[in-house]
Structures are given as structure tokens and as C-alpha cells.
Structure 1
């Protein structure tokens, strides 16, 4: 597979623990439809949500080196856990710009009508200092209820987006939030947007569900700050540290209109 850098093609690198970052790639491609993408899904270490900060830093640093060798001029850390535990480390060790993810606490606290907000997230995100700082900075007077949701990542990585297993997981994680009266729920992991249709069907229209993918795409556009290349310029290469064929099928399931060349990669 030829992935040698083409300096006439603006290349955006994307790192996630698995396939979840594809939800961000979809938003980036809407905003920057002609930029090329190099995506690394560290599926052999998925999820990052139960890994130590040191492990996440090491894995994302190695992935960053790979993406730089492919010509990436900006790297998106399309994973809330990796952003919380590794993005400052990456910015200190690599010269190119990084765009990270963070749970949409600020917009949720602005949009809630009754002052009760729920956050679906990973264990690592909820435990991180950056997350607690978001609460401190933006949630004054708002009751924020957090809930780690490991089953969501497992379901998406298995390509299960609806049905009894998904319904059971949503009901399990949402129950204490609904009992507390939340009117707004933040999706604090890039895997979770792929379950949005099922969430909406179960939770109904009275609950606002907030994702940050579009906001990240806008930030990427600001960071790159270049005119769009010609349409023929875009290509997408997606790499998995686990089973490349399984990753290809999952990519096609989740983004059938966004073709990518998929291959295995070692980190």
C-alpha cells in the first residue's frame, strides 16, 4: 500500500483506540471534503478507557510518529481518554498541531433547561483532571451526573448498533440519569455517536444528546487554515493494529459512503 506523503495533498492524521474516531472523520470530511486522511485505530489496545495514562501516552506517541512519516500536518486525537491523558504530552514532544476531544460540558450546561446534565463517558475520561477542570470551569450551579459506559465501545467495535444488547446497555446506563431528571446527555466518547439512533429511540425527544464531532472538524479547519485542494486530491488510508479485514468491514458498516483503503499496522 503506497502511503508516501504527497506535499500537494493536505493530510490530516487521526488517532483513536479503535473505530470510534470514524465518527469524527465523517464530520471532518463534511467540513473539509477534499483533504486526505490517515487514520490509525489502535484496536489491539482498545479500549483506552481502562488503560493507564502512561500506556496511552506511549501508544499515541508511537502512532503520531507513524502519521508524521505519512505526511500528516495536523493530528486529531479522536478519543476523549487519549486527549485527557496524552494530548499535552504529545504537544510537548512533537512540533505539529494537535486537535483533541473533550466532553461537551460547556454547551450542555448552557443548553440544559433544568440544570441537570448527564455524561456518558469512559472510565479514563471521568477520572482525568482535565474532565474535572471542565466541570469546575463550566458547570457552576449545574448538577452533572457521570456514567462510565464500557459496553458502548464493545458494541460498536463488534458492529452491533441496535437490537436487544444495545437496548439493554442504554437502559442500564441511562436509568440513574433519568431517575435524577437529566434533560441533556453528553456523549463523551467518539464511539457513542454510532449508537445515536438507538439512544434517540429509547430516550425520546425530551433528552438532548450532544456530540462534539462537528466542533472538532471546525477546529481542524481553523488549524489547517488552507484553501480546499481540488476534489481529486482526497484519499483515505485506515490502519488497524489488530485484524485489518475486520476493521475494513466495520469501517464499511459504519461509513458505507466513505471508502478507505484498510491495512494492518504495528505500533
Structure 2
């Protein structure tokens, strides 16, 4: 039984979608979540800057005695996780768009990927998409502006709806039957997307798979905390905590902190 916390970081509040899946699967685990909203979004930044920010977040979580680190950010995973695994002696769980299940299950032979620029332009994304794109059309769409709207609390705004209509149009024209969400902010758009998409189109995100992988690695390394006690759940953000509190249904204290 290991009571050290699971450390989780994202470029902002979106990774709370991953935290929710981890907490649901591992309800007794202590967690520390970092929202680096002051530097969001990571997507337009260069690889070196993304690595530097990921190092900063990792070192903060290690200083809090984290036993495992979940990089709850597609852009940080695709650009920095290889470097982080080499530099730090702690297990890392990464996130990348769930191209594989969409590519294996599509009936129309067309799938859509909505992701950030940093993810779509990364070597890891390119290699994964090449691996599963044989005979399948993959429509990649950069979700420019979406993260900023979510970070500012404008998830259900007219501006968001207008952006989504623009980004979905080429996918619908290509007759996709799977939409892969390639950013941890984007699951918060699912209620809107379900209203905008034809019913046969399935939406895939990585949350459940990441939670299962986190549990599997903790079990493998004998690091699970199975004590039936109330966990210590900490949330830190380096900008206004209001939006993050709302995404957590105001059930948890969110601390504004420089890190």
C-alpha cells in the first residue's frame, strides 16, 4: 500500500477530464493536479518550450513526492514524454489521440481528429497516424481558439459553436463515422458535439484508457493505495481558479499558486 500521490499536469484545466476518470477508477488514491493555465495553450509553442514547461511541472510534482506522473496533455505527451522518461526516475503515463480504435472500427473508412497544433505537428502523432491510416482517410483539424475559450469559461458560447461548425464541416463532408478528440480540454465539448453531429458518429477520447493504464502500472510496480480512507485531493492553478472550480462542479478547493 503506497500513499504517495498520483501527480497530474496539463497546460490548463482540460486535464481535469482525465483526473475524473482516474479518480473514478482509483477512488482511494491521493492526487495532485497542476493546471498550467498561465501558459495555455501549449499547442502553438515550439518543442523546446513545451519540454521546458513539462520539466517545470514534473519537478513540482516530484517535490510533492508523486509516485507516478500523468501527463494529462496531448501536446506535452507528444512533444516531451520521451525526454521526461529519460530524465526522471519515475513512471510516466502519457496521452495521445485514440486513432487506433477509430481506425480499426470505422465503417466509412473516414475518421476525424480534432486536436491542437502541437499535437498534430508532432513526430509521435505522425508515426501513430501512419501506422493506422492504411486505406483510411484521416481528416485532421486544428482546434485553434478552443482551449482559450474553455480556459476563459466560454464553453457554451456562440463563439465556440461557430468554431465547432467550421471545424466539423470538412469532417462531415468526408463522411466520418468516428471523431477522435485529441486534447484533454475537448471532452468538455461532448454535450455540444452530440447535438451537432449525426447520431451515427461516435466520439472517442482517451480518458478511460489513461485511467486503466495508470492503474495497471501502479499495480505492476506495487504502488497501489487500496486503503479505504478519504483521499487527499489537491488542485493547483497558476491563474484564476474560477473556471477550474466550475469544471469540478465546485466540489473541491482549487488553490491559486505559482509553480
Normalising by structure 1, we get a TM-score of: 0.92
- In the alignment, does 2:35 pair up with 1:41? yes
Contact 2:72 2:95 in 1 (8 A): yes
- Kept in 2, the 8 Å contact 1:118–1:144? The answer is yes
1:230 alignment counterpart: 227
Q: CA deviation at 1:227?
A: 4.4
Question: Residue 250 of structure 1: which of 235, 243, 256 is its match?
Answer: 243
Aligned to 1:150: 144
Match among 60, 74, 80 for residue 80 of structure 1: 74
CA contact (8 A) 2:21 2:208 kept: yes
Q: 5+ residue gaps in structure 1? A: 1-6
Q: State how 1:1-267 maps to structure 2 within 5 Å.
A: 9-225=3-219, 226-241=223-238, 243=239, 246-247=240-241, 249-256=242-249, 258-266=251-259
Q: CA deviation at 1:257?
A: 6.5
Q: Distance in 2 between matches of 1:215 and 1:259?
A: 24
Per-residue CA shift, 1:68-111, capped at 9, x if unaligned?
11010000001111001100000000000000000001001012
CA–CA separation in structure 1 for the residues paired with 2:144 and 2:64: 32
1:255 Cα deviation after fit = 1.7
SS at match of 2:180: strand
Normalised TM-score (structure 2) = 0.94
CA RMSD of aligned residues (A): 1.5
C-alpha distance 126-9 of structure 1, shift in aligned 2 (>3 A): same
Conservation of the 8 A alpha-carbon contact between 1:85 and 1:128 = yes
Give the gaps of 5 or more residues in structure 2.
Answer: none
- Post-superposition CA distance 1:18-55 (Å, at most 9, x none): 00110000000011011111111111110000001100
Is the Cα–Cα contact under 8 Å of residues 4 and 30 in structure 2 kept in the other structure? yes
Alpha-carbon distance in structure 1 between the residues aligned to 2:200 and 2:60: 44
Asked if 1 retains the 8 angstrom alpha-carbon contact of 2:42 and 2:50, the reply is yes
Q: Shift of the alpha carbon at 1:10?
A: 3.3
**Aligned positions, number:** 256
Rounded to whole Å, the distance in 2 between the matches of 1:193 and 1:54 is: 27
SS state at 1:232 partner? coil
